[in-house]
Amino acid sequence: MGNNLAANSLENEGIWVFNCHRYGKIPTRELSCRALSYLLVTNDDGVDSPALVPLVKALALIAEVRVVVPGGERSWIGKAITRWADIPIEKVKREGIEMTAVGGFPADCTNLAIHSLFDEPPDMVVSGVNIGLNAGLGFFLSSGTVGAAMEGWIAGLPALAFSLGVVDGDRNWKREALGERSRPLWERAAEISADIVRTVREDRFPEGTDLINVNFGRDADVHTPRVVTQLAPVGYGALFGQKEDGVYSHQFAGGLRNEADVLPEMDFAVLRQGRVSITPVRLAHTAEVSDSIRSRLSRSGS
């Protein structure tokens, strides 16, 4: 299929695997009737994230890139929006790349970039690459990386969130991910992310999808099989530990809830197999309830 991702059925598992190809020049096909604009890159790890510059450089081979990110780390913040405080912004450079550093949350960055900072909105929001996985519903809803992508959907734009990490031992792995020798890791992550972004831009954002949540392990590269997955119904346990009397701090130890309910086609299972998880997400879901519950909850006006 040329430079597209070739889809092949994974035998006996009922899921789809994507074998990737190297990307070249983007074709002249457009996402819509208007001319292609630019890619907005944001994250929740801040302007000094080791993942940021490699991602921007990889995406720059596809389209113009503009970068609006928090001035510091804003992890586990979800889709928080600044309400009462002022939001300072400043222009900074990292490895010669001009960026806008925002004194707020990831979703603030997306909203400011789309509506306030530039003369035109981007074609697409690319959030990440996050330092740590955002697989499973509990982490998906808590992630600042995903929150920034959600803000893109609210504005009517296609959005992707990218995250890299390990299923177990996250705290120890992050020391490696932030170390001086981590550059090859993030360059591989950037190449995977750019390849997926390019494919989505070529083939249009999937119909009925609000955002795409992508997760992959630290050993993944552009040749690693990719699987279209579902969000696993996984939550987490205690997040906080007591530092001293009356004082608690974030000390997540990795305890998961409902992991026994993870099916083979879900993101957690695919990540444990060493594959790349690509999850198309619908945000506007309504649960089905029985007629008896519906009648008990419903009430007609007087």
- Cα 40 to Cα 214, 235, 261: the distances in Å are 17, 30, 36
Give the separation between CA 45 and CA 104, rounded to whole angstroms: 12
> Are the CB atoms for 37 and 66 separated by under 8 Å?
no
Give the separation between CA 44 and CA 51, rounded to whole angstroms: 11
Whole-number pLDDT of residue 12: 40
Whole-number pLDDT of residue 299: 82
> What's the whole-model pTM score?
0.86
Whole-number pLDDT of residue 160: 98
Whole-number pLDDT of residue 30: 38
β-pair partners for 244: 247
Give the separation between CA 188 and CA 22, rounded to whole angstroms: 12
Whole-number pLDDT of residue 35: 52
Provide the mean pLDDT of the chain: 87
Whole-number pLDDT of residue 172: 81
- Cα 24 to Cα 62, 143, 194, 221, 225: the distances in Å are 8, 32, 11, 17, 19
β-pair partners for 112: none
> Are the CB atoms for 267 and 135 separated by under 8 Å?
yes
pLDDT tens per residue, range 60-96: 999 999 999 999 999 999 999 999 999 999 999 999 9
Give the separation between CA 106 and CA 76, rounded to whole angstroms: 10
Q: What is the DSSP string of 113-165?
A: IIIIISSS--SEEEEEEEES---SHHHHHH-HHHHHHHHHHHTT--EEEEEEE
Within the chain, which residues score under 50 in pLDDT?
1-34
Whole-number pLDDT of residue 36: 67
Q: What Rg do the C-alpha atoms of the chain give, in angstroms? A: 20
- Cα 81 to Cα 110, 113, 211, 214, 225: the distances in Å are 10, 14, 19, 23, 36
Give the up-direction half-sphere exposure of residue 254: CA atoms within 13 A in the CB hemisphere.
11
